[in-house]
A and B are shown apart, each in its own frame.
Chain A
Amino acid sequence: DAGVTQSPTHLIKTRGQQVTLRCSPKSGHDTVSWYQQALGQGPQFIFQYYEEEERQRGNFPDRFSGHQYPNYSSELNVNALLLGDSALYLCASSRDRLYEQYFGPGTRLTVT
């Protein structure tokens, strides 16, 4: 049984560009959350998707947007990239509200 998978593993973008990161949840999970982990820091919650809708959102600007598909996979989009967006982006999945989150290995985004 595959766990949470994310693609790509690494990405380099230029300031002002847009990026899309992808996540496939663990089998049987229907809820996907995204986190940003800057170097040397703990992950910060960006938002959570359930039933194809954004259910919760952390303190991130609307340059950060997402989508969830009927098969529960999810995308994180970031527009107008800033140097400060360089981070490890983690996806986590869970089975409804009652169960803990399982994390993927992350996508390392570098903005130059």
Chain B
Amino acid sequence: AQSVTQLDSHVSVSEGTPVLLRCNYSSSYSPSLFWYVQHPNKGLQLLLKYTSAATLVKGINGFEAEFKKSETSFHLTKPSAHMSDAAEYFCVVSHSGGGADGLTFGKGTHLIIQP
């Protein structure tokens, strides 16, 4: 069985300040981990993925995440928030390498950017 817990349902930051979205996972296998973003009325978009290569993963739009096995965490960060980052973010786990099997999503973190 596998699961993810997103520790914050809402995160609010000021434009230009760092972003931290927290995610812990549980998996019986060596997991593949992903972050997806969902903008209002738009489809889910893959931000980045970890599939047992480098533990620090760089994604699109300046986001990155670090896989920490000892802490079972995969937190998402960005050095400087932009207004366009306001969206819903989902941490996702899969036990297939590329993520082509059924994905298990967290409940989401709503990111609010204050001007």
Contact = CB atoms under 8 A, between A and B. Distances in A.
Interface of A: 3-4, 31, 33, 35, 40-45, 47-48, 56, 58, 90, 92, 94-106
B115 interface: no
Contacts of A4: 43
A41 B107 contact: yes
Contacts of A95: 100
B56 interface: no
Interface of B: 34, 36, 41-46, 49, 90, 96-108
Contacts of B43: 3-4, 90, 103-106
Given A42-B108, A90-B44, A100 B34 contact: yes
A56 B44 contact: no
B102 A45 contact: yes
B100 A42 contact: no
Contact of A45 (B41, B45, B49, B104): B104
Given A41-B108, A42-B107, A97 B44 contact: no
A103 to B, nearest CB: 4
A56 B107 contact: no
A43 B34 contact: no
16 contacts: A3-B43, A33-B103, A35-B105, A40-B108, A41-B107, A42-B105, A43-B44, A45-B103, A48-B101, A48-B102, A97-B97, A98-B98, A100-B49, A101-B46, A103-B44, A105-B42
A105 B40 CA distance: 10
Contact of B96 (A3, A44, A45, A97): A97
Contacts of A43: 44, 90, 103, 105
A97 B101 CA distance: 7
In this complex, the member of B41, B44, B100, B105 whose beta carbon has the largest number of chain A beta carbons within 10 angstroms is: B100
